[in-house]
Structure 1
Amino acid sequence: MFWTKRVVIGDGERGLVYRNRQLEAVLKPGVYSWFDPLDRIEVKLHNIVLRPEYVGSDESALIDRLGDALGETFVLADIGMDEVGLVLKNGRIEEVLAPGERRLYWKGPVSVEVRTLSLDETLEVPAAVAARLRQLSSLERVAVVLAVPAEFAGLVFIDGRLARVLDPGTYAFWNFRRNVVAQSVDLRVQSIDVSGQELLTRDKVSLRVNLAASFRVTDAVAAITRVAKYGEYVYRELQFGLRKAISAKTLDELLGDKASLDADIFGYVRGRTGELGIQLLGVGVKDVILPGEMKEILNSVVQAEKAAQANVIRRREEANATRSLLNTARLIEESPVLMRLKELEALEKVTEKIDKLTVFGGLDGLMKQLVSLKQ
């Protein structure tokens, strides 16, 4: 009829009847009609299959209006301030509700269950829940996620205080009502270079030094909580140790014994970093670079030293040769036969260089004139 209002509710739908803008009834699937000549009745349809959650703006009024009968039509999710809610649809987690949140879900074809987890007991997200939320791409939105690789240590701070030290693995912590910070610390051996340090030796010689060192973190908690940035701290202490060691040595001592320089730097830095959970493994000076004029001076010194050494060696050899000649002369003086042999050797060497030899007076004359025995 003209003044009759007719509504059809499908299987996957529910209807809310408002008379004079006040809730009057909840309609299940079926056909309904009202005599409404003044158009005071309004029916709002809700698709509870596509949207099991109630999307109206009058949620609180609806809860108050239905009272004890609310459970016949809706599932109420009323999450406490120290709880987090998990909404399961047909047995699978589909949504996370924050502390203090309140929602209504229709009872119908989609089975809806709300479970709560206490945030007072632990902030860690259960592994199965984290896996499901990761599958839904919503884990990072509601939790702090930390993946700790092998040879790393994980640290979790809650409201600025250290809460846990984590072994390698993947972890997630609810990010509700508390400030959660998670970070991983590298426990592997790390190398650090200190390059281009302009320093003065004890004898006021300017030079540039390059240093290399290796270290590792042995106590992740101490390294993170006792110093702001432990890598920068180690670098600065290496600079200080290098400056202290160089200033205590002359240039000759520095160039003559680099091993002692490494040991001095190692001892200084190890004492400064040990209490911070950092183990210094080794220190080595890679390069000592001198200014151009200092190189020329050192080269001149080296050349002078080598020349002096060469003179000493040459004079020593000359003395040895003279001494040998003297010994030979004494032997010749005492033995006429040895003298004769030496004369023959000299004659042989002379004749090797002569192409022609003219002899006067026969062989006896030659021998008498060239070579004669001492009487």
Structure 2
Amino acid sequence: MFWTKRVVIGDGERGLVYRNRQFERVLDAGVYRIFDPLKRVEVRSFNIASPEYAGHDVDALVACLGDALGDTFVHVDLGADEVGLVLKNGKLEDVLAPGSRKLYWRGLVRVEVQRVSLAEGLEVPEAAANRLRQLGLLSRVAVAVEVPVESAGLVFIDGKLARTLAPGAYAFWNFRKNVAAEVIELRVQSVEVSGQELLTRDKVSLRVNLAASMRVTDPVAARTRVAKFGDHLYRELQYGLRKAVSAKTLDELLGDKASLDADIFGYVRGKVGGFGVEVLGVGVKDVILPGEMKEILNSVVQAEKAAQANVIRRREEANATRSLLNTAKLVEESPTLMRLKELEALEKVTEKIDKLTVFGGLDGVLKQLVTIK
């Protein structure tokens, strides 16, 4: 008939009938003939395999359907302090922000919405966090924090420290609150202070490289009592190094670096102890002198070594002379020892002579070659 409109709604569809742009009724799957002589009826069909209602008249549908709303839709109306977990066929698929108002089609997909109160805490349940991470939605609705071993996590809500976190994985809803998290490493860390231009007490310019080891003992104090504890420690190491070097002469620095390390360590440890940072050790790595000072020191060292060598040489010469004098006294007192010395002298002479002719026997040789008065 010309005055009727034929409408077909499939098994996976639902239809909404509007007459004069006003909602009239819901059409389930089937074939319908709607009387519409003046062409004022509009039928909108929806695929309920995607259960979320995509229209813009949610409030109008809620008002028009009244108590019959639950036959067609799952109605969700969240409070200002509630988060909705949307489960489709028993699996978490989406998250609704506080204050959300939505409709979901009943039919092909079983939709359930679990309410989570933000007043009871902002931490996301572990199971929900794992599922949202799998769906790639966690970063959109929550602040995720992973605290490694030998570290501590700090959670700030609206700028205030809320709690500390032990090693593990956490997530916190970021609705209506400004949530921030930081991870503080508790392992031993090294700090390098390089290329510091300093003056000694005797006005010698030099460059010093310093190394220190530290660890955080109180993460809350390290984060809240000082803006950046690493920068603060670096500056205190600079000040301690400058103070220790300026109190010593160049000879004192080069002769006893251990005392320099101890002075810097004592200064810095007292300055940073109240900020939750413990300094474990401080050591001067290098003391670099200007080119001219190096040449002067090299000359001094060479002169000192030459003087030491001369002293040693003179001492050895004196010892040799004294030993020779003692030997001469013994030879003078003992004819047998004198004869032995003569034979030793003859042996040394014969080593350098290829041919030796002897006249008058051995006594003649000895008397002619060696004459002792």
Asked if these proteins are the same fold (TM beyond 0.5), I'd say yes
Give the distance between the partners of 2:97 and 2:328, measured in 1 at CA.
116
Give the distance between the partners of 2:176 and 2:345, measured in 1 at CA.
113
Which range is displaced more, 175-184 or 303-312?
303-312
Give the superposition deviation at 1:103: 0.5
SS at match of 1:108: coil
Give the distance between the partners of 2:47 and 2:330, measured in 1 at CA.
134
Trace 1:29-48 onto structure 2 (pairs within 5 A).
Answer: 29-48=29-48
**Match in the other structure for 2:278:** 279
Deviations 1:43-102 (A, max 9, x none): 222222x22122112221222222333223222111111110112222222211101111
**Match in the other structure for 2:60:** 61
* Alpha-carbon distance change, 81 to 322 in structure 1, aligned in 2, over 3 angstroms: same
Deviations 1:208-252 (A, max 9, x none): 222222222222112222222222222222222222211111111
Residue type at the aligned position of 1:301: V
Deviations 1:332-362 (A, max 9, x none): 5555665565556555555655566778888
Give the superposition deviation at 1:322: 3.2
**Match in the other structure for 1:231:** 230
Native 8 Å contact 1:19 1:41 kept in 2: yes
* Alpha-carbon distance change, 173 to 365 in structure 1, aligned in 2, over 3 angstroms: closer
> What is the RMSD computed on CA atoms of the aligned residues?
2.5
Give the superposition deviation at 1:145: 0.7
**Match in the other structure for 1:90:** 89
Native 8 Å contact 1:195 1:209 kept in 2: yes
Q: TM-score, normalised by structure 1?
A: 0.90
Give the distance between the partners of 2:259 and 2:268, measured in 1 at CA.
14
**Match in the other structure for 1:199:** 198
**Match in the other structure for 1:16:** 16
Give the distance between the partners of 1:373 and 1:22, measured in 2 at CA.
151
Deviations 1:107-151 (A, max 9, x none): 223222222100011101111111221222111111111111212
SS at match of 2:220: helix
**Match in the other structure for 1:126:** 125
Trace 1:127-206 onto structure 2 (pairs within 5 A).
Answer: 127-206=126-205
Residue type at the aligned position of 1:10: G
* Alpha-carbon distance change, 9 to 248 in structure 1, aligned in 2, over 3 angstroms: same
Give the distance between the partners of 1:319 and 1:196, measured in 2 at CA.
51
**Match in the other structure for 1:28:** 28
* Alpha-carbon distance change, 304 to 22 in structure 1, aligned in 2, over 3 angstroms: same
Give the distance between the partners of 2:279 and 2:369, measured in 1 at CA.
85
Residue type at the aligned position of 1:307: A
SS at match of 1:171: strand
Give the distance between the partners of 1:45 and 1:359, measured in 2 at CA.
144
Give the superposition deviation at 1:330: 4.0
Unaligned runs of 5+ in 1: none
**Match in the other structure for 1:248:** 247
SS at match of 2:54: coil
Give the superposition deviation at 1:371: 5.5
Residue type at the aligned position of 1:102: R
SS at match of 1:120: helix
* Alpha-carbon distance change, 33 to 202 in structure 1, aligned in 2, over 3 angstroms: same
**Match in the other structure for 1:103:** 102
Native 8 Å contact 1:193 1:212 kept in 2: yes
Residue type at the aligned position of 1:103: K
**Match in the other structure for 1:208:** 207
Residue type at the aligned position of 2:142: A
Give the distance between the partners of 2:146 and 2:302, measured in 1 at CA.
62
**Match in the other structure for 2:295:** 296
* Alpha-carbon distance change, 271 to 359 in structure 1, aligned in 2, over 3 angstroms: same
Native 8 Å contact 1:207 1:289 kept in 2: yes
Give the distance between the partners of 2:371 and 2:37, measured in 1 at CA.
169
Q: TM-score, normalised by structure 2?
A: 0.90
Native 8 Å contact 1:340 1:373 kept in 2: no
Count, aligned residues:
373
Give the distance between the partners of 1:372 and 1:38, measured in 2 at CA.
162
* Alpha-carbon distance change, 3 to 254 in structure 1, aligned in 2, over 3 angstroms: same
Which range is displaced more, 52-61 or 315-324?
315-324
Unaligned runs of 5+ in 2: none
SS at match of 1:157: strand
Give the superposition deviation at 1:321: 3.1
